[in-house]
């Protein structure tokens, strides 16, 4: 149980007691072998909850239930009924915003503002795809050869989708992995990260309350290496939807290729954020801070490489350091906290390793570079906002994803130079540009090799805007029309009525 003096919603308190069961075929059940793992509260490093650890046998129960639900009725359920159930789920999510926010804050350390914002996005997201359930169409086709042929396409669901999620913003990513496939008529077996399964399990309760038929959504819990691999190799799963690291994404692709499963992979990043001298610095500087410190830097699209045009470099640097040093670290449940802890002790070790590498490469640590001294923060996985300079793209801490509050700042002299350096990464997830010049804007939009380009903004995401990882950042898109089409197959039909 969380050792916090801050007020925890009684529903959350109650939910955290006992050992959390899996949601299979519309029922809450323990793991067949009875194994249990613990989720740790990153703010206190105490046990937060106990959760059953599933394996291949439990997965098989889930997949069979999902297959029965798919073939039995869900694929033919009227789209407006699928929409009704998803809208009901969205309403229940909205009624339970505080519970979901607190569960995520306790489980992964997101502040109330951040975890709460993501929980609200989850509500909008489920409503958004409820809308798409009734709006998926095929096309009527004119044949190049003419004739009395009626040809058309129709979109059909894929079948059973095995969905695997990461630990950062767990409730939102769970909804990303549930709403679109369900709206399109698929059924789902979802495995949340073993580090943050709680909000997904709570969403399972809401799915049950909304009245979805048994087996439409199944939740299995357990470790990636075992249960995750079982999902990617299960012969009766048609598609894998994955959010996580690039290394695991590669492994999933390899496994899924054995049975040619369809895949959507949303992977890592090392995104460039670029401030031109003509930018409105009153927006660009706080934007650059948000890009690296939101969610303690644990965001796939974090703007972790900041390029600053040389003539404004010192001004921007000074201000960035001032804001970083004023940042309030604290218990995520404290409304005053601007930044919570990192997810785990392991993640602290990772961040420390990269800061040490940066120092070896000759970096200057402008601020941070260590854990905070404050006695209140010693129990948790806190790390100070860190800004470093003096490196370039050849340094490991500049080209590898750190997933922590570590910003590397670098000056540049020309648009050509910054384009080349911004693109000098194996990743291609996101990028930010700050400028008031329309020509610069268009040049940058055309030149940046990343799935998302944000201009005079950072993290401008919306359900209508697809998220696509270029290069090693992924395969396929999530959100938008592309996000639901990814859970359908196109059947073409040609009827000779001559
Ligand atoms: N592009 C995007 O939209 C997003 C990408 N991410 C990326 O996720 C990563 C952080 O999340 P983590 O949970 O640490 O990623 P991770 O790759 O370690 O784990 C993600 C999920 O995969 C499972 N898993 C681990 N090994 C597996 C295997 N061999 N087979 C099948 N499943 C396995 C884990 O249990 C977990 O559920 C970062 O690299 C981040 O950039 C995170 C959020 C959004
Ligand atoms: N709940 C996040 C940390 C962990 O359980 O490993």
Average pLDDT of the chain is 97
**Residue that the structure tokens 């890009």 belong to:** 291
Q: Which of 40, 49, 105, 170 to mutate to test the pocket of ligand 2 (most atoms within 8 A of CB)?
A: 40
Third-level CATH fold of 10-267+474-492: Aldehyde Dehydrogenase; Chain A, domain 1 (3.40.605)
Of the candidates 47, 66, 53, which has an alpha carbon nearest to the alpha carbon of residue 21? 53
Gap from CA of 97 to ligand 1 centroid (Å): 25
Alpha-carbon distance of 160 to 398, in angstroms, equals 39
Kindly state if the Cβ of 166 falls inside 6 Å of ligand 1.
yes
- Local structure of residue 134 (DSSP, 8 states): T
Q: How confident is the model at residue 4 (pLDDT cuts 50, 70, 90)?
A: low
Whether residue 162 has its Cβ less than 6 Å from ligand 1: no
Which residue puts its alpha carbon closest to atom 26 of ligand 1? 224
- pTM score of the predicted model: 0.97
Q: Could you tell me the pLDDT band of residue 5, with boundaries at 50, 70 and 90?
A: low
Q: What angle do CA 388, 391, 395 make, to 5 degrees?
A: 115
110 CA to middle of ligand 1, Å? 17
CA–CA separation, 105 and 347 (whole Å): 17
Atom of ligand 1 nearest to the CA of 165: 37
Classified as helix, coil or strand, 239 is strand
Do strands 470-471 and 386-389 pair parallel, antiparallel, or not at all (unpaired)?
A: unpaired
**Å from CA of 398 to ligand 1 middle:** 21
Q: Which atom of ligand 1 is nearest to the CA of 246?
A: 39
Of 60, 67, 93, 103, the closest CA to residue 207 belongs to: 93
Residue 237 has pLDDT above 80, yes or no: yes
| One CATH from 3.40.309.10, 3.55.40.20, 3.30.365.10, 3.40.50.11400 for 272-462 | 3.40.309.10
User: In Å, how far from its chain's centre is CA 66?
Assistant: 24
Nearest ligand 1 atom to the CA of 473 is 1
Residue nearest (by alpha carbon) to ligand 2 atom 6:
195
Pocket test for ligand 2, best of 20, 49, 107 (most atoms within 8 A of CB): 107
221 CA → ligand 1 middle, Å? 14
Indicate whether residue 151 lines ligand 2 (CB < 6 A): no
Q: What is the reported pLDDT for 1?
A: 36
> Ligand 2: which residue has its CA nearest to atom 2?
195
Ligand at shortest distance from the CA of 223: 1
Could you please report the per-residue DSSP string of 327-364?
--B--TTSTT-SB---S-HHHHHHHHHHHHHHHHTT-E
Distance CA 164, CA 69 (A): 20
Q: What is the pLDDT of residues 362-409, one digit of tens each?
A: 999 999 999 999 999 999 999 999 999 999 999 999 999 999 999 999
224 DSSP assignment: I
Among the atoms of ligand 2, which is closest to the Cα of residue 48?
Answer: 1
The CB density around residue 246, as the number of other CB atoms within 10 Å, is 21
Q: Where are the domains of the chain?
A: 10-267+474-492, 272-462
Closest CA to 275 of 222, 312, 323: 312
Q: Which residues of 408-424 are buried (b: 16+ CB within 10 A; e: fewer)?
A: bbbbbeebeebbebbbe
* 96-142: pLDDT as tens digits: 999 999 999 999 999 999 999 999 999 999 999 999 999 999 999 99
Residue to probe by mutation, ligand 1, list 122, 200, 224, 348, most atoms within 8 Å of CB = 224
Between the CA of 1 and the centroid of ligand 1 the distance, in Å, is 26
Question: Which 8-state DSSP code applies to residue 226?
Answer: I
Q: Are 49 and 38 within 8 A, CB to CB? A: yes
pLDDT at 93: 98
Q: State whether residue 288 is helix, strand or coil.
A: helix
- Pick the ligand that lies closest to the CA of residue 429: 1
Percent of the chain at pLDDT exceeding 70:
99
The tens digit of pLDDT for each residue in 286-327 reads: 999 999 999 999 999 999 999 999 999 999 999 999 999 999
Q: Is 334 in the pocket of ligand 2 (CB under 6 A)?
A: no
Please report, for residues 73, 74, 450, 453, the alpha-carbon distance to residue 68 in angstroms, rounded to integers and kept in the order given.
Answer: 8, 9, 40, 42
Which structure tokens are listed for 22?
């899996």
ipTM: 0.95
**What is the rounded CA–CA span in Å between residue 58 and residue 22?**
9
Longest dimension (CA), the chain: 84
Does ligand 1 lie within 6 Å of residue 232's CB atom? yes
Closest ligand, as measured to the CA of 2:
2
**Beta carbon of 101 within 6 Å of any ligand 1 atom:** no
Confidence of residue 498 (pLDDT cuts 50, 70, 90): confident
Choose one of 37, 46, 48 to mutate for the ligand 2 pocket test, by most ligand atoms within 8 angstroms of C-beta.
48
Residues sharing a CB contact under 8 Å with residue 456, sequence separation 6 or more, in sequence order: 279, 280, 283, 284, 287, 433, 434, 435
**The length of the chain, given as a count of residues:** 498
Kindly state the average pLDDT of the residues 255-259. 96
Rounded distance, CA 482 to CA 477, Å? 6
DSSP 4: -
* DSSP single-letter state for residue 474: E
pLDDT tens track for 461-488 = 999 999 999 999 999 999 999 999 999 9
Catalytic residues: 266
The 10s digit of each residue's pLDDT in 406-438 is: 999 999 999 999 999 999 999 999 999 999 999
Helix axis angle for 310-326 and 281-293, nearest 10°, is: 50
Q: From the CB of 165, is ligand 1 less than 6 Å away? A: yes
User: Is residue 168 within 6 Å of ligand 2 at its C-beta?
Assistant: no
């Amino acid at each position: 149980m969380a050792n916090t003096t801050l007020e925890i919603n009684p529903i959350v308190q109650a939910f955290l007691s006992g050992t959390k069961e899996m949601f299979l075929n519309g029922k809450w059940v323990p793991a067949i072998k009875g194994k249990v793992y613990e989720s740790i509260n990153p703010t206190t490093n105490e046990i937060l909850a106990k959760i059953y650890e599933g394996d291949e046998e439990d997965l098989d129960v889930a997949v069979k239930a999902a297959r029965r639900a798919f073939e039995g009725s869900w694929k033919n359920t009227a789209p407006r009924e699928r929409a009704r159930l998803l809208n009901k789920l969205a309403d229940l999510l909205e009624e339970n915003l505080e519970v979901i926010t607190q569960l995520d804050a306790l489980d992964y350390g997101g502040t109330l503002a951040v975890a709460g914002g993501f929980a609200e996005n989850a509500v909008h997201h489920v409503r958004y795809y409820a809308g798409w359930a009734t709006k998926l169409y095929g096309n009527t086709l004119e044949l190049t050869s003419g004739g009395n042929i009626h040809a058309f396409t129709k979109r059909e669901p894929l079948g059973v989708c095995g969905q695997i999620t990461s630990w950062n913003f767990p409730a939102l990513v769970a909804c990303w992995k549930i709403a679109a496939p369900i709206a399109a008529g698929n059924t789902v077996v979802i495995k949340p990260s073993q580090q943050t399964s709680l909000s997904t399990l709570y969403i399972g309760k809401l799915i049950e309350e909304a009245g979805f038929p048994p087996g439409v959504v199944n939740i299995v819990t357990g470790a990636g290496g075992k249960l995750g691999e079982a999902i990617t190799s299960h012969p009766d799963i048609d598609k894998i939807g994955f959010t996580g690291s690039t290394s695991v994404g590669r492994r999933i692709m390899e496994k899924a290729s054995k049975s040619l499963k369809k895949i959507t992979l949303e992977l890592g990043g090392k995104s460039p954020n670029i401030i031109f001298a003509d930018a409105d610095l009153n927006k660009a500087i706080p934007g650059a801070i948000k890009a690296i410190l939101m969610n303690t830097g644990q965001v796939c699209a974090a703007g972790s490489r900041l390029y600053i045009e040389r003539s404004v470099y010192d001004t921007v640097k000074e201000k960035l350091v001032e804001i970083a040093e004023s940042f309030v670290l604290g218990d995520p449940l404290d409304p005053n906290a601007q930044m919570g802890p990192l997810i785990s002790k392991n993640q602290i070790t990772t961040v420390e390793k990269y800061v040490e590498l940066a120092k070896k490469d000759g970096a200057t640590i402008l601020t941070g570079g260590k854990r905070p001294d404050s006695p209140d923060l010693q129990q948790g996985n806190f790390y100070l906002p860190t800004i470093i300079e003096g490196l370039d793209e050849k340094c490991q801490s500049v080209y590898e994803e750190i997933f922590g509050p570590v910003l590397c700042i670098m000056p540049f002299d020309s648009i050509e130079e910054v384009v080349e350096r911004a693109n000098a990464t194996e990743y291609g997830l996101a990028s930010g540009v700050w400028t008031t010049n329309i020509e610069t804007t268009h040049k940058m939009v055309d030149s940046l090799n990343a799935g998302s380009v944000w201009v005079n903004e950072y993290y401008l995401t919306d359900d209508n805007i697809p998220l696509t990882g270029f290069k090693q950042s992924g395969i396929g898109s999530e959100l938008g029309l592309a996000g639901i089409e990814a859970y359908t197959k196109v059947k073409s039909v040609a009827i000779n009525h001559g």
